[in-house]
Structure 1
Amino acid sequence: MVRLTLDVIGKSKNHFKKKRGLSFPEYLKTLTHLHLSGKNIEDIGDISMCRNLTVLYLYDNQITHICNLDFASNLTHLYMQNNNITKIDNLFTLQKLSKLYLSGNRITVVEGLEKLCELRELHLENQRLAPGEKLFLDPRTLLSLAESLHVLNINNNNIDDIKGLTVLKELKHFSAADNKFHRMEELEEVFNHWHQLTRMDLSGNPVCKKAKYRDCLITVCTSLEVLNGREINELTRQFLINWKASKEAKKIKNDQHMTTGQLISYPLTSDFNVGLGPHPAHIHSHANVQRWKPQQSLRA
């Protein structure tokens, strides 16, 4: 088992470039970037002497638990993708964190980020989930990120429902390729709230097989510049927006026409078509005919 300690940092050829006149402890205090990817690290020990860290690279290791980072109050970038992490926790003190990379782990619930008010990017793609499992995003965490999050990547996580993401109104880049989205109406409902969105990737979802799904999303996300890796031509966007507006106006006009027609025809129906019995004049006429019928001649 490899435990991340100060000794591991000292033995790393990438790091202990001792500055002239500095002892090792003094050197550690000057570190702002720590590169320890691919070192078979399974656990994070006490490295609190690196108190000025702003960027920490721990990807491609064997870490199972996020811990002992509470000292790093200046940390802005944390790279922990491709480890064995199952739970997001112990990050509440990292209030300057702006980019968090946790893709390729074993996370099933996105939680524990409620204190990270500066978080701009969250990368969670390709979690190694058990068969039938899907990534769940805790509503409390989403609400806490509503004003800060600009980039969200949840590719390939068996997700089939994104209604909870509606609160993320500051999103600019959204990647959700290779999931299970199939209801266009649900997507429209969410995207109607994302007025800052410029890039989106939904490739590999069932909804992409629906007719004119791309045209529909372009008219809903009016700020979108790139969809599924393809740029959106501004002339095409305006044409589709105008076409949609014309179609909706025509529908409203038809609905109004049908409503007016119903109001005019309804009294006519009630007067003449409903079974209210024969007209009194008809009854009177019939009675007269019966009384007028001549008697049979007595001379016959």
Structure 2
Amino acid sequence: MVRLTVDLIANSRKHFKKKRGLSFLHYLKTLTHLYFSNKNIEEIGDLSMCRNLTVLYLYNNHLTNICSLDFASNLTHLYLQNNNITHMDNLSNLQSLSKLYLGGNRIAMVEGLEELRSIKELHLENQKLEPGEQLLFDSRTLLALADSLCVLNINNNNIEDIKELSVLKELQHFSAARNKLLFIEELEGVLELWPQLLALDLGGNPVCKTPKYRDRLIPVCKRLETLDGREINELTRQFLINWKASKEAKERRNNDQILAWPLAAHPTTNDFDVGQGPHPGHVYRPANMQGWEPLQPPESSVPLYQSRHLTLFH
């Protein structure tokens, strides 16, 4: 088993080179960047002497879990993509972390980030999920990221809806390409809650085949600059915003007319308001939109339900 330890660092030509007057211990204490990608590493050992570490590259290895990073309170960038990590554990002490790369692992639940309030970028694309499985999100983690997260990449994770992501109000770049998003109404409802959004990529989802897909989404995102890799010019945006406003105004007018129709059909002054009230044996309906007329003449002065009773049992 290959473990990332201080001994491995000491034997790395890319890292420590013994210089006159510079001890290995001093080197570890001043080390800020550590490059160990593509090294068949399966486990992270004790690196607690590297207290000034800010960037750690461990992508394209064989890690199955995240461990031994409790010391790294200064770490800002963590690259762990293309390993075999199954759970987002042991990250709570990384208080300075701003960019976390976990694409190409085996993560089924986005969790464990409740204590991290500085994360600006989260990359989770291409998880190696079981058949029928989709990437899920823990609500506590989403709430913790709500005020900081600017970039989210969840491409190719079998995701069927993104309603729960609506709390991420500071998102500027959102990629959810090659998922299973289907309903454009749900997308519109979420996107209108992301006022900072600049780039959106939904390519390869079924929803992209919806008629007027771009025309509907562009007016919702007032600051959007690119949609599915295509730039949006300001003239197009203004045209679509005006088109949407005109369409909504027309729908409101139609709704107002529908709501007003019963008032025209049932005037406040009619036969019930003056003179004799309705006969107890009548069933009434509107007559020419002016008053009310019996649906059928009374058979007698006996109430309708009684006369029917007598007819049935004659």
**TM-score scaled to structure 2, two decimals?**
0.86
Measure the CA separation in 2 of the matches of 1:93 and 1:19.
33
Contact 1:18–1:27 under 8 Å retained in 2: no
Q: Give the aligned residue type for 1:93.
A: N
Which has the larger Rg? 1
Measure the CA separation in 2 of the matches of 1:259 and 1:118.
50
Matches within 5 A, 1:131-280: 131-267=131-267, 269=286, 271-275=291-295, 277=297
Q: Which moved more, 1:24-33 or 1:267-276?
A: 267-276
Measure the CA separation in 2 of the matches of 1:18 and 1:214.
59
User: What is the deviation of 1:183?
Assistant: 0.8
Change beyond 3 A, Cα 1:19–1:73:
farther
Measure the CA separation in 2 of the matches of 1:260 and 1:276.
28
**Unmatched 5+ stretches in structure 1:** 279-300
Change beyond 3 A, Cα 1:19–1:75:
farther
Deviations 1:238-295 (A, max 9, x none): 11110111111111112222332331123482534542639xxxxxxxxxxxxxxxxx
CA RMSD between the two structures: 1.4
Measure the CA separation in 1 of the matches of 2:88 and 2:74.
19
- 3-state SS of the aligned residue for 1:95? coil
User: What is the deviation of 1:57?
Assistant: 0.3
Measure the CA separation in 1 of the matches of 2:199 and 2:64.
32
Measure the CA separation in 2 of the matches of 1:139 and 1:259.
40
Question: Which residue is equivalent to 1:30?
Answer: 30
Measure the CA separation in 1 of the matches of 2:46 and 2:18.
21
Question: Which residue is equivalent to 2:275?
Answer: none
Measure the CA separation in 2 of the matches of 1:63 and 1:18.
29
**Unmatched 5+ stretches in structure 2:** 271-285, 299-314
Q: Which moved more, 1:46-55 or 1:266-275?
A: 266-275
Indicate the percent of aligned positions where both proteins have the same amino acid: 67
- Structure with greater proportional helix content: 1
- 3-state SS of the aligned residue for 1:78? strand
Measure the CA separation in 2 of the matches of 1:51 and 1:274.
91
Question: Which residue is equivalent to 2:113?
Answer: 113
Measure the CA separation in 1 of the matches of 2:108 and 2:260.
55
Contact 1:19–1:27 under 8 Å retained in 2: no
Measure the CA separation in 1 of the matches of 2:85 and 2:19.
35
- 3-state SS of the aligned residue for 2:239? helix
Measure the CA separation in 2 of the matches of 1:30 and 1:146.
34
Q: Give the aligned residue type for 1:185.
A: E
Deviations 1:194-230 (A, max 9, x none): 0000001000000001111111110111111100000
**Structure 1 residue 5 corresponds to structure 2 residue 25:** no
Measure the CA separation in 1 of the matches of 2:55 and 2:188.
37
Contact 1:107–1:128 under 8 Å retained in 2: yes
Measure the CA separation in 2 of the matches of 1:173 and 1:19.
44
Change beyond 3 A, Cα 1:254–1:7:
same
Change beyond 3 A, Cα 1:212–1:19:
farther
**TM-score scaled to structure 1, two decimals?**
0.90
Q: Give the aligned residue type for 1:228.
A: D
- 3-state SS of the aligned residue for 1:204? coil
Question: Which residue is equivalent to 1:130?
Answer: 130
Question: Which residue is equivalent to 1:281?
Answer: none
User: What is the deviation of 1:18?
Assistant: 3.4
Q: Give the aligned residue type for 1:275.
A: L
User: What is the deviation of 1:8?
Assistant: 0.7
Change beyond 3 A, Cα 1:34–1:260:
same
Question: Which residue is equivalent to 1:91?
Answer: 91
Measure the CA separation in 2 of the matches of 1:118 and 1:212.
38
Q: Give the aligned residue type for 1:30.
A: T
Q: Which moved more, 1:267-276 or 1:237-246?
A: 267-276
Over 3 Å off, 4+ runs: none
Measure the CA separation in 2 of the matches of 1:249 and 1:274.
40
